[in-house]
Every structure is written in structure tokens, then in C-alpha cells.
Amino acid sequence: MKKTLITGAAGFLGSHLCDRFIAEGHHVIGMDNLITGDLKNIEHLFPLERFEFYHHDVTKFVHVPGKMDYILHFASPASPIDYLKIPIDTLKVGSLGTLNLLGLAKDHGARILVASTSEVYGDPLVHPQNEDYYGNVSPIGPRGVYDEAKRFLESITMAYHRHHGLDTRIVRIFNTYGSRMRLNDGRVVPAFIGQALRGQDLTVFGDGSQTRSFTYIDDQIEGIYRLLMSDYVEPVNIGNPEETTILEFAEEIIKLTGTDQKIVFKPLPQDDPLQRQPDISRAKEILDWEPKVERAEGLKKAYNYFKSLSPEQLWEAHRDFSNNK
């Protein structure tokens, strides 16, 4: 039986990855320090013999006994609200955490896939973004802690590959949405759906002309799985090329939820990229992957998930990270 370590297991992507690798018949070790993750996302896996959970911070030395086949490094705060609140942790998990996991992979002779991000392209001057674009990132801006940590993650991963012959994969993840996103993480999908469900106006930042492209979680997980099982070492974009402006997106959410709330405009956060759209030619060619779920269908599923949450969860105040350390 294959044994697979997934860091960030209690998070949005990590928990869906745990489900997928359990379904593929692996023995899965989930690891998380629960700083932004939530055990609720994986509690259904606890009764399974093939699932173990380690409450551990990957920026500290990581030890896992026995053999290991695969490591997926998905531990990181991943929304602007989170990395503005916990910038140092964000830098540490992308740098020290990645270093520890690469070392672990080397010890075990395991294949490792690390989660990078479209943020490595910063506020892109090239559109759409293919993997050969080097990006336009401010190292000292508020997003720098995330963007530069992920750029370092890519850099050290390639160094381990070239210098130690480690079997590595790098996925560049574009905006992804679905169940188990935190309602209060500030990302636009839970923000808008949460506002609609609470009867609040939808807050569009700037004039809403900035663009994003949204990938449904099932498509994202499929892309990551295919990349891990491929033999391709260079970074691969996994995202949906269908682009929308944030204003159009807000209108779409109003229609979907049937809310009679209005759209209100707030200042655009600093360094908020004006446009973002993946070029997925590489994923198509190498992984034979492209997104399958239409936005209307994916958003409906996400809406049904958020609608099923309790009123307390819906109104839950922002998590106080200082109490969680």
C-alpha cells in the first residue's frame, strides 16, 4: 500500500487531497498545525485505519516513521487576510517548512509535490500567464510574504531536484473554490456567498474591473493528482482559463443566491493584481488535463455547502490567530 504524507491536511485543498488519496487506496498521514486549518474538514477520516493525523508545525523538524512514497506540501496560509495577520508564519512555512519536507523526502526516497501559486506571477505584465513568465512581484509589499515564500519554495525544490536528484513536482495553483473554504478567510467566493447568506451587501474592491479565473475544487484536485503521477518536474499551472471581472462575478453571485442585497464598492487593497488568467497549454499537453466543471455548476455546489452551515458558523468572527499558537 502506498503511504502518502499531506501537509496542510485540515485546510481547504489539503482536506480534499486527503479524501482523494484515501479513495485511491493510499495510507494517508495528514499533518497540520491548525493555525488556519480546521479539524472539521477531516473528522470524517478519523475512524479510518488508513488515516492518521499528526498535529505538527512543519517549520519544526518533521519526523515520520516507516516508509513513505509521496509527500504533498500544502501547508500555508493562502488568503490575503491570513498572510497579513500572520506574515512571519507565512514566510516560515514556505521556506523552513519546505526545507524540512524536502529533507524528509530525501531521507525516505519519496516523491514530493509542492504547492506553489499564481501569486509567483505577482501583478502580471503578460496575459495570460504561462509557466515561462518570471512574474512581477513586489518583495516588500503586503503580499510579498506569500509571493516570495512561494518563489523560494520553487527555487529550493528545483535545487533539491538538481543537486540531490530528488523526485519533485511543482504545481502553480490559480484561484480555486469549493466546500471547506473558511467563510472568514476573506477570499472572494466565501466573502460574497457569506455576505449574500447573511443578508449583507456584497463588497467589491476597487471598481471591480480586476479579473480572476476560478477553478472548482474537483478539477484542481484532479490536476494535482495527475501531476504527481506524471514524470514532469518543471512547474505546471492548474487553473481555469475562463476569466471574469470581479464585478460580473458579484452579479453572478447575486443571481445565484437570489439575494436582494446591493453591491457596494470598497478601496482596492494594495498590490491586488489587476488581471489573472492561466495559460494551461502545458497541463493540457503533459497531463491531458483541463477543467470540466462549469462555473455555474461549481458555484451552485459551493453555495449549497455554505448554505448548510449553522448560523453560528455563518456569523463566526474572524479567528484570533494569537490564541491558536
Q: Which is nearer to ligand UDP, 204 or 238 (CB)?
A: 204
Reported as half-sphere exposure (CB side, CA atoms, 13 A), residue 302 has a value of 31
Q: How far separated are the first and last CA of the chain, in Å rounded?
A: 35
Residues 75/98, Cβ–Cβ less than 8 Å: no
> What is the C-alpha separation between 74 and 33, in angstroms, rounded?
12
- The dihedral through the CA atoms of 129, 133, 138, 141 has a sign that is positive
28: left (phi over 0), alpha (psi -120 to 50) or beta: beta
Q: How far is the CB of 204 from ligand UDP (least distance, A)?
A: 4
Q: How far is the CB of 186 from ligand UDP (least distance, A)?
A: 6
> What is the C-alpha separation between 164 and 159, in angstroms, rounded?
8
Q: How far is the CB of 181 from ligand UDP (least distance, A)?
A: 9
Q: How far is the CB of 108 from ligand UDP (least distance, A)?
A: 33
Give which of 105, 95, 102, 201 is closest to 148, Cα–Cα. Answer: 95
Q: Which is nearer to ligand UDP, 175 or 240 (CB)?
A: 175
Give which of 5, 291, 259, 307 is closest to 173, Cα–Cα. Answer: 291
Q: Which is nearer to ligand UDP, 175 or 184 (CB)?
A: 175
The single-letter code of the amino acid at 200 is: Q
Residues 40/78, Cβ–Cβ less than 8 Å: no
Q: How far is the CB of 271 from ligand UDP (least distance, A)?
A: 9
Q: How far is the CB of 248 from ligand UDP (least distance, A)?
A: 11
Give which of 122, 112, 191, 124 is closest to 153, Cα–Cα. Answer: 112
Known active-site residue 146: yes
Q: Please report, as ranges, the residues that interact with ligand UDP according to CB under 6 A.
A: 79-80, 175, 186-188, 191, 203-205, 210, 212, 246, 269, 272
Taken as a whole, the chain contains a residue count of 325
Q: Which is nearer to ligand UDP, 235 or 239 (CB)?
A: 239
Q: 83, 146, 216, 225: which is the annotated catalytic residue?
A: 146
Q: Which is nearer to ligand UDP, 20 or 182 (CB)?
A: 182
> What is the C-alpha separation between 190 and 177, in angstroms, rounded?
8
Give the residue numbers annotated as catalytic, written as ranges.
146
